[in-house]
Amino acid sequence: MPLSSFRYYLMPAFILLLCFISVGANSAIETFEFDNVEQEQVFHDLTKQLRCPKCQNQNISDSNAPLAKDLRNKTYELVKQGKSEQQVVDYMVARFGNFVRYDPPLTPATIFLWLGPLVFIFIGFYFLYGQLKRQNKQDDHLDSQESDRLEQILAGKTSVNKKTKQEKK
């Protein structure tokens, strides 16, 4: 079974990609025996978070490629020996590099994976804060009309009334 024919073995979930697929849906199903439920769980978790390096984008649990099979067997062997999840991941990373794990390690570049969204949230809230503050400045010179309306709103449910009217329009 040529390994090289599995080069384009990728997860073809969406059609845009379909011109590149050469191997189809043929899930890898094997029956392993475990000492206990925890071991089985560790094994399942591991095969879901380890990537088959030869296939395009599949974990070793889903892939039917020979290399994925080898890695599954090795994972099974290590788990049976009582290795922890982290130890098995380290074992694989030592041989295949960080590419093999779907949970990326912290590096000077990957830090942005967490920082990027966080920074954006801060900027967003800063913007909201700035907007409100600018309005408050204007609010200091609230004209009489404006404060009347404020009064109204505070007093009753005028704004809701107005809104329902608007919607009915």
Interface of this chain with another protein, residues 95 to 134, rule: CB under 8 A: 95-105, 107-110, 112-114, 116-118, 120-121, 124-125, 128, 131-132
* Number of other residues whose CB lies within 10 A of the CB of residue 80: 14
Among the listed residues 51, 60, 76, 79, the single contact to another protein using CB under 8 A: 51
The answer to whether 76 and 32 are in contact (CB under 8 A) is yes
Nearest-angstrom CA–CA distance, 88 and 74:
9
Among the listed residues 81, 141, 145, 168, the single contact to another protein using CB under 8 A: 168
Nearest-angstrom CA–CA distance, 160 and 166:
10
For the bound state, the minimum distance from the C-beta of residue 20 to another protein, rounded and expressed in Å, comes to 4
**The one-letter amino acid at 55:** C
Position 11 contacts another protein (CB under 8 A): yes
Position 82 contacts another protein (CB under 8 A): no
C-beta closer to another protein: residue 82 or 98: 98
The answer to whether 81 and 39 are in contact (CB under 8 A) is no
Among the listed residues 8, 35, 147, 156, the single contact to another protein using CB under 8 A: 8
